[in-house]
A = this chain, B = another copy of it.
Amino acid sequence: MTPNNIFNEILSFQSVKLTMKQERIVQAAIQLFAEKGYSNTSTAEIAKVAEASEASIFKKYGSKEKLLLSIIVPSLKEFFPTMADEVIGPISEANSTFEGFLAAFLKNRSEMVIANKEIFQVIVKELIYKEDLKNELTPYIFEAAASRLARVIDLYKERGELIDIPTHKILKSLLTFIGGFFTSHFVLLNNESVAEEVIEDAVRFIMHGIGIKTTSMN
């Protein structure tokens, strides 16, 4: 079973309409995986919370692991592409500055994550462990998110809004900070929302850091 087979098999789950019981199973699994982690959640517990039988889980998903993947994979598939369409689209509205873009981007993605916080937590918590899954998804994520962001960065670099260092360096710092931002807010602190001010602070940090600007600096 090559990665893509699993991938496609998993994706087939969402194409079919779920029955009520199946829906409850997925919801229970998301909740429990987010709260206690995949390994610390038993199928018996999922069945109990879902008020379904354990057999129903295996009937539909085949294994506990595929149930996990059926939660993670479609979400990622949704998460990153919509990023491209909903967020990186508006860039073309030329009047927008990079600061404006960043603020809109952080706000939009934060709302997205908050709306699906438990799934986000499941993804973060499990990706740490599942070396396989990580390797499988990395190129996909990169294509869907990082490379598009790189293009945006290039665009604004041309406009003279961003410093003239290699794009991959800018991207790396950006992703490091954004990763820390989302993880600390929505996994560690489990926040329900982010204040406007918090986003402003983040944008200012990303744009100007914490040092005093001196005209003489390169």
Contacts and interface: CB of A to CB of B under 8 A. Distances in A.
Given A39-B39, A39-B40, A213-B213, A205 B161 contact: no
Contact of A160 (B125, B134, B212): B212
Contact of A212 (B163, B174, B180, B214): B163
Interface in A11-61: 36-37, 39-40
A66 B132 CA distance: 29
Contacts of A174: 210
Interface stretch (A1-9, A79-87, A108-116, A165-173): A165-173
A209 B212 contact: no
A175 B184 CA distance: 10
Count this chain's copies in the assembly: 4
Contacts of A161: 211-212
Chain A at the B interface: SS class: helix
Contacts of A125: 128-129
A136 interface: no
Number of chain A interface residues as a range: 35 or more
A130 to B, nearest CB: 10
Given A128-B125, A176-B180, A207 B201 contact: no
Contacts of A162: 210-212
Interface in A113-160: 124-125, 128-129, 134, 160
Contacts of A206: 209-211
A215 B212 contact: no
A214 to B, nearest CB: 8
A217 B208 contact: yes
Contacts of A62: none
A188 interface: yes
Nearest to A166: B201
Interface string A177-192: 1111101100110000
11 contacts: A37-B39, A99-B211, A125-B128, A163-B212, A174-B210, A176-B184, A177-B177, A204-B209, A206-B210, A206-B211, A215-B215
